[in-house]
Chain A
């Protein structure tokens, strides 16, 4: 390994492991209330909300940490945080 490579990191999916396991609350999407503003996608710090052709948005639960920013930013309460079961 060249020394300069210690100074840079290449972005890759899930390089910190399956961070979805950290989640206590799960975002649940209510498509009927969604106005397609996409604020949830812009605000998601983990880039785990995908714009989807059929369902419009799709959560990647393997990496969603359940921070709740999407639910908080949603102007129509179309995302609900539901406690994860054991």
Chain B
């Protein structure tokens, strides 16, 4: 069924169709309307789920940690300061190998207090052991949420759906909503590495010999590595059932014959694609590699697809004392890159910006690390 939904409502519909049984969340803009919608669905009995109201984001993730370990499909959502407040539980859930899905609607970290998008909040999860994805549009946010349950449960790792504040969360787009029957047929029964059951008491989160920790981390690293193939396979299988494939870990856009490749992630990639189309008409051979997943990191794809191209990484985040976070990551895979830092704090970056940015890049007029637009930072 084709219908008009905001990003947040699309994620709520995906959680419903995935038959999540427990939802716990604490409201924070711009995430609030996801769980507001889910609370409404629970109230109207449209979904057979328990909605746990909690006093903080730390408790929200702690609550779904418990329900997920008990064997129930579980969901939470947050943004920015909420994510930072639950940060301890982010690591507990990952290190305990708990499959669940969380939506992170990316929002700038204050001060100054700011509710608009940049990606630094999401990327604080980088080293924790969560699978981290990022949507470009509302449909993809929906699709990633449904796929997230499957990937998370198969990998035994928690899954994040990232999407940009307002540009996706509060912007309505036409979405193709599959039927409950089709999602049921596609999404297998929940599985997980272990579970707690009243008949078989176990202690979780207990102390253990140092070697246990070391072995678990190594195993986690290997599972994360295997998740690369899993993400690609799930993307393919989803495509077979629902007719939409995105390319797995990365999406290529007019990349094959490009001399200049732009690497970026998130909603603004759509604007950058428009800029690429315009520049192509002006005979500038520019293309895009869009990072759909940040963890596991697609270094193999980057090496293969960006070979012999000039690479520009556009970051909407920054690692203080170094460079853009995607810039760091992409350099670790392919070496020399140019890094533009733009859209920090939700500063609007549109098609004209991208057009000018890519043109300047081709003309070698950008610094190695360039804050965009230059005149704002004089």
Contacts and interface: CB of A to CB of B under 8 A. Distances in A.
B193 A10 contact: no
A4 B194 contact: yes
Contacts of A8: 194, 202-204, 206
Interface in A1-45: 2-11
Contacts of A4: 97, 156, 193-194
Contacts, number: 36
Nearest to B201: A11
B116 to A, nearest CB: 39
Q: How large is the interface on A (under 10, 10 to 19, 20 to 34, 35 or more residues)?
A: 10 to 19
Interface stretch (B171-179, B212-220, B239-247): B212-220
A10 B202 CA distance: 5
A14 to B, nearest CB: 15
Nearest to B205: A7
B208 interface: yes
B96 interface: yes
Contacts of B194: 4-5, 7-8
A51 B190 CA distance: 42
B206 A3 contact: no
A2 B192 CA distance: 13
B208 A6 contact: yes
A7 B201 contact: no
Contacts of A6: 208, 212, 215-216
Given A7-B216, A11-B203, 5 more contacts: A3-B193, A6-B208, A7-B96, A8-B203, A9-B206
20 contacts: A2-B193, A3-B97, A3-B193, A3-B216, A3-B219, A4-B97, A4-B193, A6-B208, A6-B212, A6-B216, A7-B96, A7-B193, A7-B194, A7-B216, A8-B203, A8-B206, A9-B202, A9-B208, A10-B202, A11-B201
Interface of A: 2-11
Which 5 residue pairs across A and B have the least CB separation, nearest first? A4-B193, A6-B212, A8-B202, A9-B203, A4-B194
